[in-house]
Amino acid sequence: MDRLARLFAAEPVRVTAVLRLPLIALIAVLVWVWEVDHWLPMVYVVVLGVWAVAAVLWLVLVSRGPTLPRWADWASTSIDVLVVVVLCLVSGGATAALLPVFFLLPIAVAFQDRPLLTALLGVGTAVAYLAVWIVYSKRDDTVGMPNVVYTQFGFLLWSAVATSALCVVLVRRQARVLKLQEVRRQLVSEAMQADERHNREVAEHLHDGPLQTLLAARLDLDEVRERVDDPALDAAHAALQQTAAALRSTVTELHPQVLAQLGLTPAVRELVRQFESRGGCTVEAELDEVGKPESQQLLYRAARELLTNIGKHAGATTVHVGLVRRGDRIVLTVTDDGRGFDPAVVEKYVADGHIGLGSLLARFDAMGGSMEVHSAPGRGTQVIATSPPETPPGEQT
């Protein structure tokens, strides 16, 4: 949930970073079209140029980083207000062209996710507007201080109140979304745990009941076959052998002991061995030891489902399976050189009742992980499954 909150907090900074560039372009165009003499033209050009370069670099920075410092939102907008004030103070007659910019700044402030800072920045914008007019009127005796300035100052204060109220609404909605996301994650987690408990109970019942009965019947049949040479007994023995093998396979699929006892890496290695033994594909496996992560059931299901899909539908000759720990995440990668497909049809498959891959996508999304499907007809498929954040191995209990 904390990660979701950080992602939501970073989004307003990215939005304002994008909006800042056309605002700078508008300022340059306004002053150029106005054709006025600047009080300090070189300072004006330098400040505007530095601001433009910094804005581009800032946009690149916030676009690459998944999260940002908490101060990034209010600091970037505060710098915008300061730069506009400086531009107004050094532009002289051009101030009249730049004054409307103050009415645009509160719009950027509205994207902040903290009402108090939004209010402070909004009020600061209004005060800066009034201060620029005071300085402008003192330096140019022909202008004076028009009464409309105070009205416009009031409008800016109203904008500050309005954007702060909007911010309060957005913050409350964000909190509800985060809470719903957490409830969804808990429900999916509980459903998976219940499913696992049910599978374990069924597996134990099959192992201790029908499978043991079959094995006992096979032993009795072996004793009879030693005394009686009858082809019908041989056929019955072969049928018992096949049924027992099928039951063992079902028990293993329902509750893989290697996963519970040894962890995810040996379990995935066993899946790869079984897949390769069925023939038809060469498997290249790069499996790092990742221990027993909290999401090992989810990742194991993903590996099993993806390999099963490859065996049934891909027509591949080479498959690559990778498993690695990256920070607090476990990443499973399954790549094949098969016929591929259009990932957009996954939703259609779900609608038609083929929910295997669609179910995995929904589970990873609900648990806070991700699953990326890269494929195209005739170009193979790559699926990258990333676990939810994991507790560091040293802190697991």
Shared domain check, 46 and 151: yes
Question: Pick from 254, 271, 294: which residue ends a domain?
Answer: 254
Question: Pick from 126, 149, 184: which residue ends a domain?
Answer: 184
- Domain assignment of residue 240, given as a range: 190-254
- Domains identified in the chain, total number: 3
Q: What are 249-276's pLDDT values in tens digits?
A: 676 666 666 777 778 888 888 888 888 8
Shared domain check, 293 and 220: no
Shared domain check, 304 and 249: no
Shared domain check, 149 and 114: yes
Report yes or no on whether pTM surpasses 0.75: no
Q: Is 35 exposed, middle or buried (0-12, 13-18, 19+ CB in 10 A)?
A: exposed
Shared domain check, 356 and 283: yes
Which pLDDT belongs to residue 346? 65
Shared domain check, 202 and 128: no
CATH number of the domain enclosing 292: 3.30.565.10
DSSP E strands in 65-126: the ranges are none
Question: Pick from 184, 213, 242: which residue ends a domain?
Answer: 184
Shared domain check, 134 and 62: yes
Instruction: Give the Cα separation of 261 and 382 in Å (integer).
Output: 29
Which pLDDT belongs to residue 270? 85
Q: What number of helices (H) and strands (E) belong to the chain?
A: 14, 5
HSE (side-chain half, CA atoms, 13 Å) at 122: 27
pLDDT digits (tens), the chain, 397 positions: 444 344 444 566 777 788 788 888 888 877 676 655 556 778 888 888 899 999 898 888 877 765 566 677 677 777 887 888 888 777 765 566 677 777 776 666 656 667 887 888 788 888 888 888 888 777 765 666 777 788 888 888 888 888 888 888 888 887 888 788 777 777 766 776 676 677 667 767 776 778 778 778 878 777 777 777 777 777 887 888 888 777 776 766 666 667 777 788 888 888 888 888 877 788 888 888 888 888 888 888 888 888 888 888 778 888 899 999 888 888 999 998 888 887 776 666 555 444 567 777 777 877 778 888 888 888 888 889 888 887 665 555 4
